[in-house]
Each structure stands twice: as C-alpha cells, then as structure tokens.
Amino acid sequence: MPLQKAQLRLEREERKIALNQVVEEACNAVWEATKQMHAKLQTHMSEHYYCLILQSSWVASGKRQTNHWNTFISKELRRSNAGMRALRISIQATIQLSDGNDRTCVSDGEVLCDIAATWKNMSEEEQIAATEDTLKELSEHHEDHKKGVHTVPLQAFQYMCVTVAMIQREV
C-alpha cells in the first residue's frame, strides 16, 4: 500500500512538471507573438499586446441582438439602481455601509423573478410600449460600443475590481 501511494505521488509530480513545462512553452510562444505584433504595428510595447492577448479570453466577443425582454431588464435594473443610490445616500449620513455595493445584482434570482413576473403580467402591446424608447437607446449604445477602442489598462483595472469584489463576497 505505501508503495502504491508513493507511485501515485510520483506520477502526479511528473504530470505537474510536464504541465508546467507546456504552460511555460505556451507563454513563451505568446510572448514571441507579442514581439512580432510590436515589430509589425509599432504602436505599443510588447507588454501591452501581451495583456491584450491575456484579456481576450474574458472580453465579450459576440453581442446578442437587443430585444424587448433584455431592454426591459436593463430599464428595470437602472430604475432599481437609481433608487438604491438615493437610499444609500440618505443612509450614509447616519452609518457607513461596509460592502460598498449599491447595485442590484443581475444574478440575484429574486430580482429577476420579480422583473419576469412584471413582464409576464403585461400584454404584448404594453411590453413594446414600455421598452420602445429604451430599445432605441440600447441599440445606439451597442453600436457606439462596437466603434469604441479597447483600453487594456482600464479593462485590467476593471477586471481586478470585479475579482476583488467577488473575493470579498466569498469571504
């Protein structure tokens, strides 16, 4: 039995070493690609392109079409968040809130259930009327976003803020 455990430990260690070597080779290949990008484009340093490549895995690549349901969710969350900000400002005068989060969490099932219930109780005409102005605004926002420039340092900072907030919620 102890011999089998030692054998398994040795195999795990060998797999770990092999994996680390492959990861290092991949990082070196990416770094070489960034050097080529720098030589070809000559607009940024290699480090910039390296960050850009690493961020590309979590930057949204495809956009969905705007529709009335997503527009309604956006509109309701904006309305809710505006109310939360007003409440937070009045509460801050007396106490300090520790979490610093005054936005409604989209993944909160209760919030989405409430919005969905409101949506289902509306007729199709009411749904269209409730979202028509916001749908145009959201479509314009999406078009503007497509034309925007991806700023690597800003995206890295925002990603870090989101990660820190997630860790704080878990702790």
Question: What integer pLDDT is reported at residue 17 of this predicted model?
Answer: 95
pLDDT tens string for the chain (171 positions)? 788 888 999 999 999 999 999 999 999 999 999 999 999 998 888 888 888 888 777 666 666 678 888 888 888 888 877 766 655 554 444 334 444 555 545 555 677 888 888 999 999 999 888 888 888 888 888 777 767 666 777 777 888 888 888 888 887
Question: What integer pLDDT is reported at residue 29 of this predicted model?
Answer: 94
pTM of the model: 0.45
Question: What integer pLDDT is reported at residue 87 of this predicted model?
Answer: 54
Question: What integer pLDDT is reported at residue 74 of this predicted model?
Answer: 84
Both tokens assigned to 118: 């409101």
Both tokens assigned to 29: 């290949």
Q: Which residues contact 43 (CB under 8 A, 6 or more apart)?
A: none
Question: CB-based burial of residue 72 (10 Å sphere; 0-12 exposed, 13-18 middle, 19+ buried)?
Answer: buried
Question: What integer pLDDT is reported at residue 93 of this predicted model?
Answer: 40
Question: CB-based burial of residue 51 (10 Å sphere; 0-12 exposed, 13-18 middle, 19+ buried)?
Answer: middle
The residue extents of the domains of the chain are 2-55, 68-149
Question: What integer pLDDT is reported at residue 55 of this predicted model?
Answer: 79
DSSP string, 133-170: HHHHHHHHHHHHHHHS---HHHHHHHHHHHHHHHHHHH
Question: What integer pLDDT is reported at residue 32 of this predicted model?
Answer: 94
Question: What integer pLDDT is reported at residue 163 of this predicted model?
Answer: 86
